Amino acid sequence: MFWIGLLAGAAIALLANWLVQKGVFTKWYEWVLGGLGVLALFATGQHYFSSLRENEPQSAWMGALIFGLIALILLGVAWQLSVRKTKKA
């Protein structure tokens, strides 16, 4: 768990640094939506592997489908908000 948090923190720092270098400014709610999407992505992996460990493959796939779709929707909305705002400028 420590390494996942360390990698996630490093990825966020690199992303923020890259955005500043490119001159892209994001709103606070884009960060919140992106963060919730990443949390849903982590929940997808955790649910999938823990369900497989408990010998529940159907539950693993259904949970991956549900949490994965939520993660994709949240990350897609955050990305689209950022891209649309950048194209207007």
Q: In the chain, where are the structural domains located?
A: 26-88
Cβ pair 4, 56 in contact under 8 A: no
Question: Who's near 25: CB < 8 A, 6+ residues apart?
Answer: 19
The pLDDT score that the predictor gives to residue 74 is 95
Give the span between the Cα atoms of 45 and 79, in whole angstroms.
Answer: 21
pLDDT at 89 over 60: no
Number of CB atoms found within 10 A of residue 60's CB: 18
| Alpha carbons 53 and 56: distance in angstroms, whole number | 8
What pTM does this model have? 0.79
Q: Helix count (H) and strand count (E) of the chain?
A: 3, 0
- pLDDT tens profile 2-23: 888 888 889 889 988 988 888 8
Residues 6+ apart with CB under 8 A from 79: 34
Mean pLDDT of 49-76: 94
Question: Which residue has better confidence, 57 or 26?
Answer: 57
